[in-house]
Structure 1
Amino acid sequence: MKAVVYEGPRKVSVKDVPDARIERPTDVLVQITTTNICGSDLHMYEGRTDFETGRWFGHENLGRVIEVGAGVDKVRVGDYVVLPFNVACGHCKNCERGLTNYCLTAQPKAEWAGAAYGFADMGPWAGGQAELLRVPWGDFNCLRLGEDAEERQTDYVMLADIFPTGYHATELANVKPGDQTVIYGAGPVGCMAAYSAVLKGASKVMVVDRHPDRLKKAEEIGAIPIDDSLVDPVQAVMEMTMGLGADNGCECVGYQAHDPQGDEHPNLTLNNLVKSVRFTGEIGVVGVFIPQDPGGPDELARQGAVAFDFGEFWFRGQKLGSGQCPVKKYNRALRDLIAGGKATPSWIVSHELSLDQAPEGYQHFDNREQGWTKVVLHPDGATAGV
């Protein structure tokens, strides 16, 4: 089968690799028809993690089941399914509590928790930017889709990661109807956080970024764009909230945050959020931060630490929630919003490419080129088109 193989910093190629196959009775084999390039893939693509050369990416996956193991009871051959990026067993202590983002079984290191397809330090699981994907614990991990799955793949594939992750950011921040919410970052996850806040009934959603195409996307759903290359974002939020600050906020940028001049500051959005959110407000952090970053701009960052304004945070009596999204906690309800015509997350998609075009897609997306807001790959090529 073909897959998007990592060959070193900023270099991927499409190569033949060993076919995915059923290995255990509870496995499901999926023919991937739609898979996304995620912003968190770029951390690995840029060489900012310890992702091994020769492995392949892909944790936002959707496709058609072509084989099931003898121990699979629910999923059937022919079903269209979307897979949470979390690989989870369903029966460990964390999975039983709904914390599939921190599965203790799928992560081979006993001192760690959490696993994902095609991701650094998240277990041995192959990615889905390929023609086939082995799904372990298939009955638990597969979310079956309805009759409209084939024609609405670009909506449903967002259930693998960015739609639930954006929603998770608003859950961590406790966004409620009528709230004034600020989102830092208008990439795909930031836009999905803004979309989720709108769906929840927030009265005002402000989105901070500096890429005009991304801010325009946020504006399409009624969010208020704030270009931090033109204005002080904290001051802009204060002016829109009678000087009090937002009720809550979401961090959707992560450890590679840059200032408008292009200098990297891992703490930039965190500290701006503390100053943008009112006293006793709540903050949700879903942007990626990692324990070590050898490519960090200073020694503190290289150790995975940030200079967080904890004194200001404490003084304001704020709350902060963080971590990867437990996709299964939200994906069924969000699927039903899509099926019912209440949500259309595909509005973020800018490009649909064949699997062979993946290297070009990575390059353009990594360069943050104008108009490249979300890239979808189709391994079968049947529905690909720019």
Structure 2
Amino acid sequence: MSNNRAVTYQGPMKVAVQDIAYPTFELQDGPGVNPLNVGRKVPHGAILKVVTTNICGSDQHMVRGRTTAPEGLVLGHEITGEVIETGPGVEFIQVGDICSVPFNIACGRCKNCKEGKTGICLNVNPDRPGSAYGYVDMGGWVGGQAEYVLVPYADWNLLKFPDRDQALEKILDLTMLSDIFPTGYHGAYTAGTTTGSTVYVAGAGPVGLAAAVSAQLLGAAVVIVGDLNEDRLAKARSIGCETVDVSKGDPKDQIEQILGVPEVDCAVDAVGFEARGHGKDASHEAPATVLNSIMDLTAAGGGLGIPGLYVTGDPGAVDDAAKIGSLSIRLGLGWAKSLSFTTGQCPVMKYHRGLMNAILHDKVKIGDAVNATVIGLDQAPKGYAEFDSGVARKYVIDPHNTTGKVSPN
């Protein structure tokens, strides 16, 4: 039996690298595993040696203690790896393949999967539609911030890269295919971004920057990114975006200075439930702020893409309503303006092959756009702490130093 080590949640603002069980083709009991999934056979799965696995803002919500995640939960849903073993039910994926793993687990067999709604698969989470690796209330599939990980329904879920050497050369771009690049693209696409659009992206973290890059790919004329963090805004400007500092007031006023009108064609919420107020209220958490703001500043008939995370359980929320995900949304405003809304997990498989091709053919350098920064597995606690401080980086964990970019410190 091989060894395995992983990053685990140990309580608010605490993560640790621990020994965990090496994956097998049966789901074992453990922190966060749904009892109905314990003992589940996975003959259709593959075991991957993790090449890269990224720290996500959604992980950070858990680490901050803002979810009901249990201590000991193995973190990590952004996974790229090399197949080292396949179950007897795997037909096409082969040992040695380098693959991207969509963060949302899907069976490929249910009604939703067959309709392309892989973010809300009906068969992988006994509690509700939709699942993900290493995430609270998502069925208990073990996370991928580890040396090795099990991927179920491998023939369906895994995106094989066509050339191993090319994949490793472009790994800091390709690692973003597991989540943030498709998620950002989903936000821009579902908002209705097209040739000549004016687009506002709320949030200059990695997903927001991915949404901004995606809006540019989709042909936007102007992409405006709003945030409170000047380092992140500077990164947005470096990739050709206009920016607004929402700590200085209503973003509509700054948008008007850029466009001549105080509205955009479409908008993306890449912030989620830990949003802060704008202007003089920027120091306070106000979870409905971004949703209400983008409804206000989007033109009538426009679209809103909402990939930012909203949860049904938030023990650290500012009020009792927000603790169960109930927010004071100006739905009447959205209705009056005939705005369209798209929320929920990104169906990664809808987009990842096309975005892979854009990377492989040098149409986009998403790793540079989000400032991909490689660290080792033992450096993960430090990476979490720095990411929480708001640095303009996307941390990429390389457990085996496959990239050759892990520093000794």
CA distance in 1, matches of 2:256, 2:5: 51
CA distance in 2, matches of 1:346, 1:299: 39
> What corresponds to 1:123 in structure 2?
139
Deviation at 1:222, TM superposition (A): 1.1
5+ residue gaps in structure 1?
A: none
Count of residue pairs brought into register by the alignment: 382
**Are the equivalent residues in 2 in contact too, given 1:377–1:384 (CA < 8 A)?**
no
Provide, for residues 300-356 of structure 1, a one-character-per-residue CA deviation record: whole Å limited to 9, x for no partner.
212211111122222222111111100000000000111111111101134211000
> What corresponds to 2:341 in structure 1?
320
Provide, for residues 220-245 of structure 1, a one-character-per-residue CA deviation record: whole Å limited to 9, x for no partner.
22110111123431211233333251
> What corresponds to 1:28 in structure 2?
46
Q: Does residue 15 of structure 2 align to residue 12 of structure 1?
A: yes
Provide, for residues 221-270 of structure 1, a one-character-per-residue CA deviation record: whole Å limited to 9, x for no partner.
21101111234312112333332510000000000001364210010101
CA distance in 2, matches of 1:239, 1:319: 26
**Are the equivalent residues in 1 in contact too, given 2:9–2:15 (CA < 8 A)?**
yes
> What corresponds to 1:284 in structure 2?
305
CA distance in 1, matches of 2:98, 2:302: 41
- 3-state SS of the aligned residue for 1:8? coil
CA distance in 2, matches of 1:306, 1:153: 39
Give me the CA root mean square deviation: 1.3
What amino acid does structure 1 have at the position aligned with 2:136?
A
What amino acid does structure 1 have at the position aligned with 2:20?
V
> What corresponds to 1:379 in structure 2?
399
CA distance in 2, matches of 1:144, 1:164: 16
CA distance in 2, matches of 1:55, 1:197: 35
CA distance in 2, matches of 1:7, 1:311: 42
> What corresponds to 2:389 in structure 1?
367
Provide, for residues 174-231 of structure 1, a one-character-per-residue CA deviation record: whole Å limited to 9, x for no partner.
1111000100001100000000000111001000012122112211221101111234
Moved more, 319-328 or 231-240: 231-240
Provide, for residues 84-108 of structure 1, a one-character-per-residue CA deviation record: whole Å limited to 9, x for no partner.
0011000001001000000000111
Q: Does residue 205 of structure 2 align to residue 184 of structure 1?
A: no
Percent identity between matched residues is: 41
- 3-state SS of the aligned residue for 2:169? coil
> What corresponds to 1:156 in structure 2?
174
Q: How does 1:91-240 map to 2 (within 5 A)?
A: 91-109=109-127, 112-147=128-163, 148-240=166-258
**Are the equivalent residues in 2 in contact too, given 1:213–1:373 (CA < 8 A)?**
no
> What corresponds to 1:248 in structure 2?
266
5+ residue gaps in structure 2?
A: 27-41
> What corresponds to 2:373 in structure 1?
351
> What corresponds to 2:355 in structure 1?
334
TM-score, normalised with respect to structure 1: 0.96
CA distance in 2, matches of 1:266, 1:42: 16
